[in-house]
Amino acid sequence: MANINIDSIKKNTYDAIVIGSGISGGWAAKELTGKGLKTLVLERGRNVRHITDYPTTTMKPWEFEHRGRLPLEVKEANPIISKCYAFYEGTTQFFVKDAEHPYVQEKPFDWIRGYQVGGKSLLWAREVQRWSKYDFEGPARDGFAVPWPIGYDDLAPWYSYVETFAGISGNKDGLDILPDGEFLKPFELNCVEKHFKEKIANEYKNRHLIISRKAHITEQKPIFAEQGRNPCMNRTICERGCPFGGYFSSNASTIPWAAKTGKMTLMPDSVVHSLIYDEKKGKATGVRVINAQTKEMTEYYAKIIFVNAAALNTNLILLNSISNRFPNGLGNDNGLLGKFVAFHNYSARISAEYEGMLDFRTKGQQPAGGYIPRFRNVFKQETDFLRGYAAGFGANRWTYQDQDGLGESLKKNLLNPKLGKWGIGSHMMGETIPKESNYVALDKDKKDPFGMPQLKISIDYDDNDKKMAKDFFEQFTEMYTKAGFTNIRTYDSKQAPGLDIHEMGGVRMGKDPKTSLLNEWNQIHACKNVFVTDGACMTSTSTQNPSLTYMALTARAANYAVEQLKNKKL
């Protein structure tokens, strides 16, 4: 029996294990296999293969039974996930339904998840902005979180590294507050967006409107051809999966790249229960995995482990990884695991109309719009709230149906929509402050379908968020007015946290093991062969869409891990 056990352990042993196959997990797989490590990639959801498993990607609107809309019974069965803008008849296969992975809402929280190979990289909005030095320096300056252990200069070369491989469209804007990257040719602002850009530039010194930076290929390069990817076709149905590989996803890019090395073992339907900690060795030696189909548990072993299960599930796994050494979760000596979770506030929106430029109209589609980088409290504290917000901006020419007339004249009017005014819209992306009172924990009583503790989520807005939203409304009303926009309307969606799908923290990076869980290389302070590089690692959120930063952090940490292995330091 001993020999059988040894053989079983040997069979299930790898150089590295990556938990999760989404944006950060895909990058960990690519980097580790590319450096020659035999790597096991564990994904709790089903397998989704590029192109083959995008069933709705070429369907026309009339080919959907409900013309793309969700049946009432689906909405009623999924009150949480139905709030997501990307959940409709063409995408239901890529979302976790409400009943599939229950959780406890101590405070309202809409947890949006995608359990499949590729994770939410199939569904994301593909907005990519670098952080600036001000974003990394903010916590130390303002004292609202622990200082970051790294700065912009540490991550800049890794931003370039991942941008070159992923394919990022954008303009060289020369902004200190939003550093330029390795860009492909940008999409274009339309005439009204350009009008607003000029008005802002003329009226304000430190406010800018730029074309958004998107993870879309806009021109072919050898590196994309080698990945089997082609330029974006501007279909703007990206959330169904792109058969061209026009936008970056794990499925189209990093996962098949890792597979080509022959070093990757991809294991879907593998729910990670916990990490195994060896007290004699003083490190993690593997993971316990539940087969999603059979519910059977198996152990797998490796020298290094990357936990990239997406922010809240990464917290769940680490909290569930208990041992005599770590009775409250792996690495949780300071009791801070699961705490100081933050997110982006998307609840504030403002719209308007513009009666100018009626000799122009929009035609066709493109995935990019306008983006206004943060301009509040960047260089110094200047408001009654901490930090700031960025904003999206877009303009489009409305059409309407003339309902006058009867019979044939009414039919003619309805079939021939007329052009109306320009519609203007903007939404806030506000930075929330990491607080100990915003946390996730394991519920003591309730279990999920795999017998694991359900995650209890207690996350909410605060007074700082209200002040920030008020300022957003005031500043954009002023800017809209100066641009000649009319019928300005503000709107508070009152959405619960979570619907932004930018939850971060709980396993934050820091300089001091007493106040953080991870060091400057994303290693758990008290268990150096475990790395966390997804949203859970974030010390603060800034205002930028976070995925590009996850990619850069992952590539950096993975290359460091390989160096440490070679030098026998792990």
Asked if residue 414 belongs to a domain, the reply is yes
Q: pTM, whole model, 2 decimals?
A: 0.96
Asked if residue 488 belongs to a domain, the reply is yes
The amino acid at residue 375 is F
Asked if residue 407 belongs to a domain, the reply is yes
Give me the domain span that covers residue 206.
174-211+344-431+461-496
Task: Provide the domain count of the chain.
Answer: 1
Asked if residue 366 belongs to a domain, the reply is yes
List per-block mean pLDDT (blocks of 10 residues) for the chain, which spans 570 residues.
Answer: 64 97 98 98 98 97 95 96 97 97 98 98 98 96 93 98 98 98 97 97 96 98 98 97 98 98 98 98 98 98 98 98 98 98 98 95 91 96 96 92 84 85 97 97 97 98 98 98 98 97 98 98 98 98 98 98 96
Q: Give the tokens for residue 415.
A: 């079939």
Q: How many Å apart are CA 486 and CA 477, to the nearest integer?
A: 10
Q: Give the tokens for residue 11.
A: 């069979």
Rg (CA), the chain: 24
Q: Which residues contact 227 (CB under 8 A, 6 or more apart)?
A: 245, 252, 253, 256, 257
Look at residue 367 in the predicted model and tell me its pLDDT.
95
Asked if residue 387 belongs to a domain, the reply is yes
Q: How many Å apart are CA 446 and CA 453, to the nearest integer?
A: 6
Cα 272 to Cα 99, 220, 299, 342, 450, distances in angstroms: 19, 38, 10, 24, 10
Please tell me whether residue 220 adopts helix, strand or coil conformation: coil
Please tell me whether residue 127 adopts helix, strand or coil conformation: strand
Look at residue 398 in the predicted model and tell me its pLDDT.
85
Asked if residue 318 belongs to a domain, the reply is no
Scanning the structure block, which residue is given the tokens 């110094």?
A: 380
User: What's the angle, vertex CA 475, arms to CA 471 and CA 476, rounded to 5?
Assistant: 115
Q: Give the tokens for residue 85.
A: 């803008």
Look at residue 402 in the predicted model and tell me its pLDDT.
81
Asked if residue 283 belongs to a domain, the reply is no
CB atoms within 10 A of CB 279: 10
Cα torsion 177, 183, 189, 195 to 10°: value is 40
Q: How many Å apart are CA 464 and CA 458, to the nearest integer?
A: 17
Cα 220 to Cα 121, 164, 169, 232, distances in angstroms: 21, 12, 12, 10
Asked if residue 85 belongs to a domain, the reply is no
